[in-house]
């Protein structure tokens, strides 16, 4: 697999795969201009980073500058980085923009219960019972009232962006803030499933570039076999 961070030829390769899949299903290939969102300018990327007070991981930053701000990708489509109402966010299927919460680092699954304890104790509340599936969600409801579920979920996703909604509750996340910045996480269905690092065949953790290219190379092999 190509391990460089450049994206030369990737846009054309993806368009070719998309066209091949359409032909295989007896459909007219889409216009190449409709496959990807427009790329972002350096000024637009700087706006995104200034809005959130972060630097986007280099692999993703170069992708939106050279390939597109959204488009085909693991597994169905990437969320699209767009400015809506003067603010930047990540959009899935023309829904409301999903913002990044940059207020703290992304919390790994094995550290999540400890983060909940710290939040509850900072609010002056001593946690009671840790639920097997939701950890301290009931305590969040006790402390924060009706917004408890929202606070819980927003804190759980802090420091990462939903980069791909894969259907049926399957999601992919790109870590933006914290020691694992630039890595990808896979999240299965359920209320509090673990966030599992995406790894290659050798067990190495993916960044956005290696993750995207692994998907593209798999699609190319499938296209050749069809």
In tens, the pLDDT along 39-57 reads 999 999 999 999 999 999 9
pLDDT tens digits, one per residue of 105-122: 999 988 989 999 999 999
- Domain 10-106+158-225 carries which CATH code? 3.40.1580.10
User: Which residue ranges does the chain devote to CATH 3.40.1580.10?
Assistant: 10-106+158-225
Q: Are the beta carbons of 201 and 185 closer than 8 angstroms?
A: no
Q: How confident is the model at residue 33 (pLDDT cuts 50, 70, 90)?
A: low
State the pTM of this model: 0.90
Average pLDDT over residues 45-71: 98
């Amino acid at each position: 697999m190509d391990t460089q961070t450049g994206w030369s030829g990737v846009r054309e390769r993806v368009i070719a795969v998309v066209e091949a899949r359409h032909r295989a299903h007896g459909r007219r290939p889409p216009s190449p201009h409709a496959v990807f969102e427009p790329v972002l300018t350096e000024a637009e990327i700087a706006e995104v980073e200034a809005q959130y007070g972060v630097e986007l991981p280099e692999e993703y930053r170069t992708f939106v500058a050279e390939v597109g701000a959204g488009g085909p990708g693991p597994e169905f489509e990437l969320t699209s980085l767009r400015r809506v109402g003067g603010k930047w966010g990540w959009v899935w299927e023309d829904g409301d923009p999903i913002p990044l919460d940059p207020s703290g680092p992304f919390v790994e699954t094995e550290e999540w219960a400890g983060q909940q304890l710290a939040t509850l104790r900072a609010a002056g509340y001593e946690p009671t019972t840790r639920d097997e599936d939701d950890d301290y969600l009931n305590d969040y409801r006790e402390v924060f009232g009706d917004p408890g579920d929202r606070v819980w979920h927003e804190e759980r996703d802090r420091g990462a962006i939903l980069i791909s909604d894969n259907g049926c509750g399957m999601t992919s996340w790109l870590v933006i803030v914290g020691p694992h910045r630039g890595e990808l996480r896979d999240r299965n269905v359920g209320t509090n499933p673990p966030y599992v690092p995406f790894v290659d065949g050798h067990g190495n953790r993916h960044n956005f570039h290696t993750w995207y290219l692994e998907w593209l190379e798999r699609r190319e092999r499938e296209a050749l076999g069809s």
